[in-house]
Structure 1
Amino acid sequence: MEYYPALLQGVTYPCIHAVWARWAPPLERSRMASLAFAGSYVGTVVSLPICGILANELGWPSIFYVFGKIRKVKTKRQISVILKGEYEEHILGVRNEVNLVHPWRKFFTSMPVWAVIVAHFCENWGFYTLLTQLPTFMKDALEFNLKKAGFMSALPYLVMAIVLSFSGQLADYLITNKYLNTSQVRKLFTCSAFMGQAVFMLMTCFLLTPTGAVSCLTAAVGLGAFAWSGFSVNHLDIAPQHASVLMGLSNTMATLPGIISPSITGILVQNKTVDEWRVVFYMASSIYLFGALFYGAFSSGQIQPWAEHKNNQDRTKIDEK
């Protein structure tokens, strides 16, 4: 039964990109996408304590009833907004009706597409490693009790949600005011974030104090917000008409670390020693560095030739000036 919610949630991010590709002005996509992604982290931080309260006071089934009701109300509101937007497009005559064919071969032979996929995979490797293992690490290496570890492990994601709310604004500001073009902004945000995350992951291995480790891990996760304002918006830059499919593709590949990383961590951390945990963080740092190098070498902020269309309103030359 638990597979059905996961199956339905899998279309969320691609649908978000489909909406932004259609309605968001090109120079406002970073802030809109970043704000939308920030909501997922806010939801994680807020829902965890609420679930604990509901389970203690009303029993664990109440969690599903309450959040199910919230989702029902939210879905009705979203459908009404989308239908209203579709109607307004029809009345104003701004909709471009085309028979869109997705060039799958071009997807898999395009290096900018692979740059996004690799960056998404690398970011999620560190994310899932910390999401699934951070409380255990704090208990094993820092000797935190589980109650404190649960609270402190939520702190990095709260910071990421806050940083995401303005990192997209900064990206759009740099592009709009022509300080940097789109390619430069995407590379700068993603690569610098990955390198910073790698450094803070390594520092965590040696600052084995509660304050030092939590500070480093919070900084590492928080820097991920800048990466998300880079690669996660990049689908809309290189192929706006196919952005939802590309997000689905990269998000599928980026889900694999959620399966692989905990399994590898379980194999590496047999005796729960500090040295074993260091190997886990060494691996995450190496993957971040690889992601920075690959994305820096092959990413692009310009629409790709195979994604161009005669009715495409995104063929702006702002980035090239």
Structure 2
Amino acid sequence: MALTNEKVQSYGTEVAVDESTEVYPRWMFWKKRRYVVATLAFFGFFNVYALRVNLSIAIVAMTENRTVTLDNGTVIYGPEFEWDSTIQGYILSSFFYGYITTQLFGGWLSARIGGKKVFGGGIAVTAALTLITPWLAKTSVYLLLAVRIIEGIFEGVTYPCIHAVWARWAPPLERTRLATLAFSGSYVGTVVSMPVCAYLAKALGWPSIFYFFGVLGLVWCAVWCIVVAESPAEDPKISKAELNYIKESLGHTDTNQRIRHPWKDILKSMPVWAIVVSHFSENWGFYTLLTQLPKFMKEILNFNLGKTGFMSALPYLAMSIIIQISGHFADWLQEKGIMTTTQVRKVFNCGAFIAQTVFMMAAAFWLSPVGTIICLTLAVGLGGFAWSGFSVNYLDVAPQHASVLMGLGNTVGTLPGIVSPIITGYIVTTPTAQEWQIIFYIASGVYLFGCVFYGVFASGEVQSWARGDVKTTETPMKERATMGLDNKSFEPDL
């Protein structure tokens, strides 16, 4: 069908719609190129986390006791790798030593050369290195540490650079749903990879984990490079109506201009630090469970390896579902004028952190297989609402600087990935239920601090120091509702 020649208002601009342009019904989202980009970004983050979490399952198989009969008939009982809990803590955290170093660089580089190139390149190198991980692990623990650090360096660019993609592709009223669609791939990747890793380890041996996901990552990279364009204007398959809508809603921002980042203003901005603190808080609980949950379930709940992989995935299954619901719900609240952007971010973020505090504390007290799994699933799952808060908030406060802000936030947010496994390695030595309770208490306290700090200082408005690169102003949500400008009024059925 074709639209009649009309103009629709979006963020203070009028979007001209050509009547000759072929457009699609709203439900045919897969024909909208921005959703194609988001879907492939989803699978990109799927690979990011599959490549990251594989060692959490593999290390259980690598260090568990087994019976081996040598050629001379000698029977040996023991682990293939005799690594104590402290060494395992360093191995599991080594990825983040590299990961933290390229956050700001990834944001800066993607702003200069484009998010598509940086995102695809980072995952491609990580996948290639994953293929040689088994050989390196068998050769030396130090080589294993080295390759994990290098993998972290290349994966470190992925989160910051995706905001450079959204700065070019995401209309303001679709930021949350597009961003959360992509980010949810991280949790689906965790959900799928944990049981798959456990199955591969039992059926084919732990090296097969690294071969399988290494190849899968390289296949995705080829598809990403072929299908995705750096910007809507460079996409040969985008419709004219969709191209006009994206360009007008973003205010004709010149995405090829060299952006100067006002670092002094950024570092003095409390709304920015509110996002950074929340990013740190969410990642503390997430990384603690991501790296330690399989070990906790085996040592305290006495699950075997196969069951550990499946049960460890449950919290991330809940999160992958909730993050999608929260993204659409957050955008809907803004579109209908029910809440301002600031209110949506604070309610979703702080509500999630309060729930996570409660259920993490409950998990510490209720140390039973059923009760603990329920509490941890709710603690991690409800964190999906926080991703409609702080993670999209970077685009709210400074759209054209969002990639470097994400780099700053993820730099601080990576510290839990380094510190948490090491702390766990020193605290959980026996291991006992009481030692694991301390780990849950720490996570609860971090969540609560993040809730209070974000609730006081967060904002959903473009900051004064970031207004120079945006040529449009946001019409307040209540005013838009009064004007009758719901989402249908803003966007033609592109």
Compute the TM-score of the two structures, normalised by the length of structure 2: 0.61
| 1:137 paired to 2:327 | no
User: Cα gap change, 1:4/1:277 in structure 2, threshold over 3 Å: closer, same or farther?
Assistant: closer
Among candidates 319, 323, 332, match of residue 160 of structure 1: 319
Which position in structure 1 is the counterpart of 2:229? 82
Which position in structure 1 is the counterpart of 2:307? 148
Which position in structure 1 is the counterpart of 2:422? 263
**3-state SS of 2:273 partner:** helix
| 1:48 paired to 2:206 | no
Summarize the alignment of residues 266-285 of structure 1 with structure 2, pairs less than 5 Å apart: 266-285=425-444
Which position in structure 2 is the counterpart of 1:207? 366
Summarize the alignment of residues 4-19 of structure 1 with structure 2, pairs less than 5 Å apart: 4-19=150-165
Q: Please report how far the alpha carbon of residue 183 of structure 1 lies from its aligned counterpart in structure 2 after TM superposition.
A: 0.3
Relative contact order (alpha carbons < 8 A, sep ≥ 6): 1 or 2 greater?
1
Which position in structure 2 is the counterpart of 1:316? 474
**3-state SS of 2:468 partner:** coil
Summarize the alignment of residues 33-44 of structure 1 with structure 2, pairs less than 5 Å apart: 33-44=179-190
Contact 2:194 2:312 in 1 (8 A): no
In structure 2, how many angstroms separate the alpha carbons of the residues matched to 1:123 and 1:289?
10
Contact 2:337 2:478 in 1 (8 A): no
Q: Please report how far the alpha carbon of residue 33 of structure 1 lies from its aligned counterpart in structure 2 after TM superposition.
A: 0.6
Among candidates 30, 34, 54, match of residue 176 of structure 2: 30
| CA distances 1:84-123 after superposition (whole Å, capped 9, x unpaired) | 734259x978562433101111111110110111000000
Among candidates 240, 243, 248, match of residue 402 of structure 2: 243
Contact 1:201 1:282 in 2 (8 A): yes
Between Structure 1 and Structure 2, how many residues are aligned? 320
- Which amino acid in the other structure matches residue 231 of structure 1? F
Q: Please report how far the alpha carbon of residue 292 of structure 1 lies from its aligned counterpart in structure 2 after TM superposition.
A: 0.1
In structure 2, how many angstroms separate the alpha carbons of the residues matched to 1:83 and 1:276?
49
**3-state SS of 2:229 partner:** helix
Q: Which has the larger helix fraction?
A: 1
Q: Please report how far the alpha carbon of residue 194 of structure 1 lies from its aligned counterpart in structure 2 after TM superposition.
A: 0.4
| 1:67 paired to 2:226 | no
Which one has the largest radius of gyration?
Answer: 2
In structure 2, how many angstroms separate the alpha carbons of the residues matched to 1:2 and 1:251?
18
User: Cα gap change, 1:95/1:86 in structure 2, threshold over 3 Å: closer, same or farther?
Assistant: farther
In structure 2, how many angstroms separate the alpha carbons of the residues matched to 1:72 and 1:95?
33
Which position in structure 2 is the counterpart of 1:193? 352
Among candidates 369, 373, 382, match of residue 223 of structure 1: 382
Q: Please report how far the alpha carbon of residue 129 of structure 1 lies from its aligned counterpart in structure 2 after TM superposition.
A: 1.1
In structure 2, how many angstroms separate the alpha carbons of the residues matched to 1:182 and 1:173?
11
In structure 1, how many angstroms separate the alpha carbons of the residues matched to 2:441 and 2:222?
45
| 1:178 paired to 2:337 | yes
Q: Please report how far the alpha carbon of residue 138 of structure 1 lies from its aligned counterpart in structure 2 after TM superposition.
A: 2.6
Q: Please report how far the alpha carbon of residue 200 of structure 1 lies from its aligned counterpart in structure 2 after TM superposition.
A: 0.3
In structure 2, how many angstroms separate the alpha carbons of the residues matched to 1:193 and 1:100?
34
- Which amino acid in the other structure matches residue 316 of structure 1? E
The farther-off stretch of 288-297 and 80-89 is: 80-89
RMSD over aligned Cα atoms: 2.4
The farther-off stretch of 290-299 and 204-213 is: 204-213
Which position in structure 1 is the counterpart of 2:465? 306
Contact 2:198 2:305 in 1 (8 A): no
The farther-off stretch of 199-208 and 116-125 is: 199-208
Contact 1:120 1:254 in 2 (8 A): yes
In structure 1, how many angstroms separate the alpha carbons of the residues matched to 2:453 and 2:231?
41
In structure 2, how many angstroms separate the alpha carbons of the residues matched to 1:98 and 1:181?
30
- Which amino acid in the other structure matches residue 331 of structure 2? D
Compute the TM-score of the two structures, normalised by the length of structure 1: 0.91
Q: Please, which runs of 5 or more residues in structure 1 have no aligned partner?
A: none
In structure 2, how many angstroms separate the alpha carbons of the residues matched to 1:142 and 1:310?
54
The farther-off stretch of 206-215 and 139-148 is: 139-148
Q: Please report how far the alpha carbon of residue 70 of structure 1 lies from its aligned counterpart in structure 2 after TM superposition.
A: 3.1
**3-state SS of 1:106 partner:** helix
Q: Please report how far the alpha carbon of residue 142 of structure 1 lies from its aligned counterpart in structure 2 after TM superposition.
A: 2.9
User: Cα gap change, 1:283/1:48 in structure 2, threshold over 3 Å: closer, same or farther?
Assistant: closer
User: Cα gap change, 1:98/1:228 in structure 2, threshold over 3 Å: closer, same or farther?
Assistant: same
In structure 1, how many angstroms separate the alpha carbons of the residues matched to 2:433 and 2:206?
35
In structure 2, how many angstroms separate the alpha carbons of the residues matched to 1:282 and 1:188?
24
| CA distances 1:9-40 after superposition (whole Å, capped 9, x unpaired) | 11111121111122111111111111101011
**3-state SS of 1:99 partner:** coil
In structure 1, how many angstroms separate the alpha carbons of the residues matched to 2:429 and 2:470?
58
Contact 1:197 1:223 in 2 (8 A): yes
